[in-house]
Structure 1
Amino acid sequence: MTRPDISFSTQTLSQFLQQPKRSHLDAVLRVIRYLKKQPGQGLLLASDSDGQVTAFCDADWASCPLTRKSVIGYMVKIGKSLISWKAKKQTTVSRSSAEAEYRSLASTIS
């Protein structure tokens, strides 16, 4: 997982593994062509770190048009270096944007 530039595309395409369509195959081929043109890309870790841990989180309330579930995401850094991140569709439907944000915060902390 050293390619955050393709993580959203991969996560979205993985939702259609059970019943893929031609449009999904076209999208996968587009991602593969992008990767082929961008060798050597990835995360760079800074050697000068102050050791401070920072975390950011966010939620996109009811962003999935099919299920109305929210997508949450977070990232954790030590100094200037990104060490962990995640984007995931929530398992339940949130009743408000505040509830979706709270779930994102809880996921980040855990």
Structure 2
Amino acid sequence: MKDLGEIKFFLEIEFARSEEGYLISQHNYALELISKMGLSGAKPLYTPLDPNVKLTSIEFDSHVQGSEITVTDRPLEDIEKYQRLVGRLLYLTMTRVDISFVVQTLSQFMHASKQSHMEASLRVVMYIKSAPGLGLFRSFNYLL
């Protein structure tokens, strides 16, 4: 066994030590996600989900609301892109608990995604852009 010193990075998670404790974040992962989605030049948002948007399934739209919604909110042609994005957001929730509810909601539509679901997930990425270094702080005083 070999001592590699104090931990700095592990599985895209950054550990920054200070006198008060550890800051655990995924700063580089968040910046990489923003870049991969092509949102580097986008304006950051300060809420992860628009409160006026109601995310519904394709089945709900067809049974309850009829066909007028499906004209404007079509099913995604490339569902894998949405699934990859939600998977990346799920990994980011390990240190970003502020997006946990939204990402859990978006993950409910993984198998039948619509354009509104993709727009909502891109909004989460633009929210992450407002503070990509946000993470968890673990104090050394927890034993006292």
| TM-score normalised per structure 1 | 0.44
Greater gyration radius? 2
Q: Which has the higher helix share?
A: 2
Q: TM-score, normalised by structure 2?
A: 0.34
| More strand by percentage | 1
Structure with greater contact order relative to length (CA < 8 Å, sep ≥ 6): 2
